[in-house]
Structure 1
């Protein structure tokens, strides 16, 4: 039964791995990996490496790998004497770390009661596309929020100059403004307890507008509550959609 050894060599941002039979000298394996690392550094600059975002971005480098592999398989050790001696000296000064399978399992937390690492990839999600009705609810919500903010600021200036009897109305306007902004946020972005937050914001807008009866007529109050209802409906109906994993191949 053949025994294979895995050899690793890393330098900077480049790491190389080689699989060799047990009959292959260790110095030869590391000499091969160092040669590959040097060839790769000569073929690609740091900018090309940092811009690589997909798997197999350097697939054309396989041609160089095959050439180096052929060179090492069909070249005698005497012809590579200088390179081998250099690697031999480096291995003496910095001996390679020998790892066993049990060591890698320990580092990955797979023993001593730790949960095994699941190989399946976690699903990725995104929100459903924004609908025309959703865009309308956003526009109306922003408009209502702006009206609440303007009325609240003007009323605050008057209340602080004359008396403090209108403080409750100022708070109601500003709370309505904040509720409108948070409704827009809930519609655009996913978050936990979305349903509960949507109902809290809706009832807050309703209570604030009912409290403001007198400063607003019944039609204005119904308009603000209607916009809040539309926004709440859009928040609750816009769900997550599962995105198929992109392996970048």
Structure 2
């Protein structure tokens, strides 16, 4: 049984992947740990030089030095000292081949893929013999661990730190809503948009026409003008609510529907019953579609 399953080398300042071992095992927990490696790698600047994230069967160990961090996914039966000894050997091998200037100038992910062969040899050595060839190295690591034990990292804290680092934590509801995606627009949705635009156009045309008559005769019809334009604004907002996610969608949609109904009832003398029914039905259809259009579920990116 392999005790060291995966190794990962990243740049600390931005979590840029530099190299990784070839993955030959595909169990579910390993894939989860690999996904967590990405989260951890983006938060390394906030953690001490070495730490551990414990899992059910697999643990993550990492150590950082000179702007580069070395991470591994190991079986829980592997002693902690040997896990960090592996990381120390990995660090020596990496720094012997790549200097800090080359690492700092790296601009694309995995620029040192050729280092994979070195990682594989080191993994094979540890998995076959159960530890390093030099017991002196193991003894030094054990002594360091006694003096300065690795910090046990809580994964929830890692994800929170990563969110704050990338500007996604503690967002206001309005800001969070802007980052949500709704389900695709349906044919009934397109129909409701067209009908809503038609109702909005009829309201603004009638309102403008009534303004001319009101200014020429008297100002008694100014409330009718206001009702037409208020209904126009509500139709426009119904289109916006359907197309874009908004907080308190239910409250806003019902409020718009009630205002449209009241405006049309007020304008009953200027509209016949069929026109009133048409406007109310279109507003009701729009409200129903606004409330039934759900947020789109996004799948997590689980690759490393």
| TM range, smaller chain | 0.5 to 0.7
TM-score normalized by the length of structure 1:
0.59
Are 1:207 and 2:270 counterparts?
A: no
Q: d(CA) in 2 for partners of 1:206 and 1:147?
A: 15
Structure 2 counterparts to residues 122-201 of structure 1, below 5 A: 126-201=181-256
How many pairs were matched up?
189
TM-score normalized by the length of structure 2:
0.50
Higher Rg = 1
Root mean square deviation of aligned Cα: 4.2
Residues 238 and 287, structure 2, Cα contact 8 Å, conserved in 1: yes
Residue 128 of structure 2: aligned partner: none
* Structure 1 residue corresponding to 2:114, chosen from 52, 57, 63: 63
Residue 227 of structure 1: aligned partner: 282
Residue 39 of structure 1: aligned partner: 102
Cα distance change, pair 196–21 in 1 and its aligned pair in 2 (3 A)? same
Q: d(CA) in 2 for partners of 1:100 and 1:226?
A: 69
Q: d(CA) in 1 for partners of 2:104 and 2:118?
A: 16
Q: d(CA) in 2 for partners of 1:65 and 1:154?
A: 76
3-state SS of the aligned residue for 1:183? helix
CA displacement at 1:140 relative to structure 2: 0.4
Residues 145 and 178, structure 1, Cα contact 8 Å, conserved in 2: yes
Unaligned runs of 5+ in 2: 1-49, 51-60, 72-83, 122-147, 164-168, 170-178
